[in-house]
């Protein structure tokens, strides 16, 4: 049955497709940045793939991609776009600290901010720029871990994590360092970013960089250490809103 709620959800996914696939300049920037971490024939884990624009970028670069997206409606769009790509493995799952199942709060009008983090929803309730966001239902989704993905598919060259405040739990499911990764952060949850930095430092000697918003450009000409990154995130204005921290094992490829 076609219902108003169903039509709103389809419209929301359509907006995501417009935002993430129809900006040619953004796509070029994204490919250029990803090419610094991903070589042809390499392996990438796309954790929180949404409608798969990053998956598309990795595939264009000739990488193999294991993409996780836990929202069934969004996953259907991901599968329609990339389901026949020979280099893509698509799984309707979340990643976390341990395998099992988790409750996910869905924002039907804006599924890009659906989350397994109640703390993000609490932080957003009084944050500028988040007015009107409503998480209107909860679904149960299966959870795997980065360790289990590595056991099944091999060690990735790069892991991209974009899971709306759940990033630390994803990193808690990793017990050995990977060569390079990125994780999203928001200025309404800086403490999550700082905890992720600490977690990575437990795993290995990483160096860091940052890309803000949708710039898809590294902010620092020279890679920086954990203390400098922590200070930089703490000093960002609230208006910066979000970005991605990039981490690579010290001595890795220069960007």
Three-class SS string for 105-132?
A: EECCCCHHHCECCHHHHHHHCCCCCCCC
- Find, among 254, 237, 146, the residue nearest to 200 by Cα: 146
Confidence of residue 10 (pLDDT cuts 50, 70, 90): low
Determine what percent of the chain is predicted with pLDDT higher than 70: 95
Please indicate, yes or no, whether the overall pTM of this predicted structure exceeds 0.85: yes
CB within 8 Å of 67: residues ≥ 6 apart: 45, 46, 49, 52, 55, 78, 82, 88, 89, 90, 91
pLDDT of residue 16: 80
State mean pLDDT over 194-212: 97
- 13-30 pLDDT, tens per residue? 888 888 888 899 999 999
State mean pLDDT over 85-102: 98
Q: CB–CB of 95/173 below 8 Å?
A: yes
Q: Compare 12 and 204 and report the one with higher pLDDT.
A: 204
pLDDT of residue 11: 81
Mean pLDDT in the chain? 94
State mean pLDDT over 77-84: 97
- 119-175 pLDDT, tens per residue? 999 999 999 999 999 999 999 999 999 999 999 999 999 999 999 999 999 999 999
pLDDT of residue 78: 98
State mean pLDDT over 59-71: 98
Tokens of 182: 């990125």
Q: Is the pLDDT of residue 43 over 90?
A: yes
Q: CB–CB of 154/204 below 8 Å?
A: no
DSSP character string of 174-213: --S--SEEEEEEEGGGHHHHHHHHHHHHHHS-EEEEEEET
Q: CB–CB of 238/19 below 8 Å?
A: no
Q: CB–CB of 134/107 below 8 Å?
A: yes
pLDDT of residue 6: 47
CATH numbers and ranges of domains, the chain: 4-249 (3.40.50.150)
Main-chain dihedrals φ then ψ at residue 110, nearest 5 degrees: -145, 70
pLDDT of residue 253: 46
Residue 169 to residue 158: CA distance in whole angstroms? 18
- Tell the residue number behind the tokens 């930095």, with chain if given: 197
Q: CB–CB of 179/157 below 8 Å?
A: yes
pLDDT of residue 13: 83
Tokens of 25: 């300049």
């Amino acid at each position: 049955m076609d219902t108003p709620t169903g039509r709103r959800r389809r419209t929301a996914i359509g907006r995501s497709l417009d935002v993430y696939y129809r900006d040619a300049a953004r796509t070029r920037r994204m490919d250029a940045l990803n090419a610094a971490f991903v070589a042809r024939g390499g392996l990438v884990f796309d954790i929180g793939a949404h409608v798969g624009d990053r998956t598309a970028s990795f595939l264009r670069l000739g990488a193999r991609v294991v993409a996780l997206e836990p929202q069934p409606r969004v996953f259907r769009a991901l599968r329609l776009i990339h389901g026949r790509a020979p280099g893509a493995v698509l799984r309707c799952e979340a990643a976390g600290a341990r395998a099992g199942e988790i409750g996910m709060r869905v924002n039907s009008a804006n599924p890009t901010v659906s989350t397994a983090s109640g703390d993000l929803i609490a932080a957003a309730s009084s944050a500028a720029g988040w007015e009107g966001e409503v998480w209107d239902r909860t679904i149960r989704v299966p959870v795997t871990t980065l360790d289990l993905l590595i056991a099944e598919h091999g060690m990735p060259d790069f892991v991209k994590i974009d899971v709306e405040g759940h990033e630390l739990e994803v990193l808690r499911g990793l017990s050995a360092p990977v060569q390079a990764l990125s994780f999203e952060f928001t200025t309404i949850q800086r403490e999550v970013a700082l905890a992720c930095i600490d977690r990575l430092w437990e795993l290995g000697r990483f160096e860091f960089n940052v890309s803000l918003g949708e710039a898809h450009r590294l902010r620092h000409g020279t890679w920086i250490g954990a203390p400098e990154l922590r200070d930089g995130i703490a000093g960002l204005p609230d208006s910066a809103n979000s970005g991605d921290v990039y981490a690579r094992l010290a001595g890795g490829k220069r960007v």
